[in-house]
Structure 1
Amino acid sequence: MRRLTSILLLLALANCARPIPAGVTELSYATPYPPSHPFSRADQRWIDYIEQASGGSLDIHPVWSGALLSSDMSLEELRHGVADIGLITPIYTRGGTHLVRIQSGFYSGADSIADQVAVYRCLERTVPEIGREMSGLHVLAIQGGLLPGVITSKKPVRSLADLKGMRIRAPTELLAVLRGLGADPVNMPMGDVYSAMARGVIDGVIAPVDTFKVLHFDEVGRYFATLKVPRGAYPSRAIGAKVWQRLNPAQQELLERSASVWQAALADEIEKGALAGAQAAKAAGIEVHDIDPAEQARFDALYLEDAQKNARKLAKLDIDGLDAFRKARASITETGIKCPVQP
């Protein structure tokens, strides 16, 4: 609470120092990433679009590198007005977003960013609990991502059996699956992975190819296994509900319309990051090992089995996770993403 009070005071002082012209609404945008990060480049493209489309009546003031919002408390900080708009990560928040976090494990088969976003939008429309968990915020953009593989430093992964005994950094939803395959999975901030691999504390990490460039994993990794680890979409940019309510209808309509612009910019920058990562890996001589389709199918089955178990466990919190699981799975078809179910 003391940190939150200090941030609010600093923000108030900053606003006082910036005279706002008549007829212009200024909104702050906060992110934990520096301006050079692919996410931030997409954010800047969205900012440019908003300021141009509004004719200058909306002025977005970015605050980069975590100066305002933290990674683990961003939802609460936005709700309390620390920033007007911000990057949020509800899938890493420990409390209050149980279904939003768990649903990110329902996406096996939704391999593209566009498909991931479409599945989440389906759940958003048909599962009321998701709206309840995001209360106090108005979501502006959904983010998907590249399918991770396995980056290792000491020995390659050619099959699932090779994971046995390896200490691998993995996201929370993958820990049980890896444990069942005999690995020793751990969860740690991605910012700590480089040093952990360099010191031999961990043997590898579940991560997409762009991390060879963005996080310099080309310096600590030697092998990349193309195991397609499913990943889901989640709300990634939001405006505080109180700030949203102060905007006029035209401003609200513009921000709603900008969702497709922001999501397209994010997808584009992520894909550019993948190309740069692949180039960095090639230049560093990273060995790439493809996973046999039968092994991939076995992994997918284990992944979905665990996802269904996690969905069922939400009943302890009076959340119908199985309903969300079934709707997500029904929306992923061989011919694309369909959302046949209605709320």
Structure 2
Amino acid sequence: MMRKVSVLVFLAFLFAWCMKATAAEQITVKFATWHGPTSPNGLIEQELAKMLEEKTKGAVKIKFFWSESLVKYVETYRAVQTGVADMIYYVVGACPGVHILNEVVNLPFMGFPSMEKAGPIYEKLLQEIPELRAEWKGVKLFRPRFMAGSHIHTTKKQVKLPSDLKGMRLIASGPMVFTVETLGGAPVQLGMGDWYTSLERGLVEGHATHYPVILMTKTIDLLHYHLDFGPFGFYAQPDMLVMNMDTWNKLPKDFQEIIEDLCSNWRVAKILKVDMGEIEKAKTYAKQKGHTFYYATPQEVSQWKEALKPVVEKWIETAESKGLPGRKVYNEARRIIKATSGR
């Protein structure tokens, strides 16, 4: 009897030890994002997390902190640098003053040929321009991809030329504020939750943004006119996943390979496919509703480029006022983009 009890006690101890060891070996990655769990990005990130857990046999799990619940939008990058977050979703330019030189890729009409080709070209810029790489020091950067390009969507009149925007009130944020001002418009900075009602009430007359977001927010129902600049729009921003370097270095090599493949290759292919589908869905919906589309001609695009030169010059001046080689980086980026894409 005593022997049976001893065996049971030993088995209980062994089970508890195994459970403790398993818990200790399991890696939990704190993932911070401003998206909600049901957004297109949120759904893709959850699919990625599920695949990661399966491929590592449960050894690596992602714990999501949605909708700025861990850190605020503008603090996201600092959070992953300092280890407050292990991984983040990030858009170049989201955190002011962090990636000043990398924001060169956010400037209008940089010459990227398409969403699909822009990501690899940005990777080439990072490889060949050391000043860009230096701004990512201390983090693990996964493959970037560019979001859908921005076009100009308006409620009551068709915009074709820069002069058509004079005096118009457009929703704008971040770098778009000065862009709208440069074109003679009046930028209005609003939270996403205020877009629809502000357009509906006539407080603003348009939005310079991409097709998927006006479909998602249903503001497409109020934006009846669309000035389309072609496959890349007049500007777009790259996004990517970023990991804290200490977190990355602690991972076994085989787990690093799995995460690299999922966060770089799988995610980029998946999200590009989703975005392309959302662009087509938005355009089809708008056409069914009788919206007017105007496609800028090469001559008209040249007028837009000329009108937006002050935006480029201001970016260069701002960078150089901080002791950064703005003009050098801009010229080198344009050279590489042109050589790679022929534009």
TM-score normalised over the length of structure 1: 0.82
* Other-structure match for 2:256: 252
Deviation at 1:46, TM superposition (A): 2.5
* Other-structure match for 1:330: 335
Deviation at 1:238, TM superposition (A): 0.8
Letter in 1 for 2:113: D
Between the aligned partners of 1:315 and 1:87, the Cα distance in structure 2 is 28
Letter in 2 for 1:167: R
- 1:158/1:289 contact within 8 Å kept: yes
Q: How many residues align?
A: 321
Say if 1:165 and 1:139 are closer, same or farther in 2 by CA, change over 3 A.
same
Deviation at 1:216, TM superposition (A): 0.7
* Other-structure match for 2:160: 158
Deviation at 1:144, TM superposition (A): 0.4
* Other-structure match for 2:241: 237
Q: Please give the secondary structure, in 2, of the residue aligned with 1:110.
A: coil
Deviation at 1:36, TM superposition (A): 2.2
* Other-structure match for 2:131: 129
Deviation at 1:119, TM superposition (A): 2.5
* Other-structure match for 2:88: 86
1:263 maps to 2:236: no
* Other-structure match for 1:285: 290
Letter in 2 for 1:244: W
Between the aligned partners of 1:179 and 1:93, the Cα distance in structure 2 is 21
Instruction: Give a deviation string over 1:155-211, Cα, whole Å, max 9, x none.
Output: 221333321211112344344444343222344444432232122221111012223
Deviation at 1:100, TM superposition (A): 2.4
* Other-structure match for 2:279: 274
- 2:30/2:87 contact within 8 Å kept: yes
- 1:85/1:238 contact within 8 Å kept: yes
More displaced stretch, 254-263 vs 196-205: 254-263
Between the aligned partners of 1:199 and 1:283, the Cα distance in structure 2 is 24
Deviation at 1:115, TM superposition (A): 2.0
CA RMSD for the aligned pairs?
2.8
- 1:71/1:89 contact within 8 Å kept: no
Between the aligned partners of 1:194 and 1:111, the Cα distance in structure 2 is 31
Deviation at 1:25, TM superposition (A): 2.1
Between the aligned partners of 2:260 and 2:315, the Cα distance in structure 1 is 32
Deviation at 1:326, TM superposition (A): 1.8
- 2:162/2:307 contact within 8 Å kept: no
Deviation at 1:213, TM superposition (A): 1.7
Between the aligned partners of 2:115 and 2:250, the Cα distance in structure 1 is 32
Q: Please give the secondary structure, in 1, of the residue aligned with 2:111.
A: coil
Between the aligned partners of 2:248 and 2:167, the Cα distance in structure 1 is 50
Runs (5+) with no aligned partner, structure 2: 1-19
Deviation at 1:51, TM superposition (A): 2.8
Say if 1:118 and 1:151 are closer, same or farther in 2 by CA, change over 3 A.
same
Letter in 2 for 1:39: N
Say if 1:19 and 1:199 are closer, same or farther in 2 by CA, change over 3 A.
farther
Between the aligned partners of 1:121 and 1:238, the Cα distance in structure 2 is 14
Say if 1:105 and 1:171 are closer, same or farther in 2 by CA, change over 3 A.
farther
* Equivalent of 2:322 in 317, 325, 332: 317
Letter in 2 for 1:165: G
TM-score normalised over the length of structure 2: 0.82
Deviation at 1:320, TM superposition (A): 0.9
Between the aligned partners of 1:320 and 1:189, the Cα distance in structure 2 is 33
Deviation at 1:323, TM superposition (A): 2.3
Deviation at 1:125, TM superposition (A): 1.5
Instruction: Give a deviation string over 1:257-285, Cα, whole Å, max 9, x none.
Output: 33121111221121122122223323433
- 1:107/1:116 contact within 8 Å kept: no
* Other-structure match for 2:212: 210
Letter in 1 for 2:330: F
Letter in 2 for 1:319: L
Between the aligned partners of 2:279 and 2:81, the Cα distance in structure 1 is 33
Letter in 1 for 2:335: A
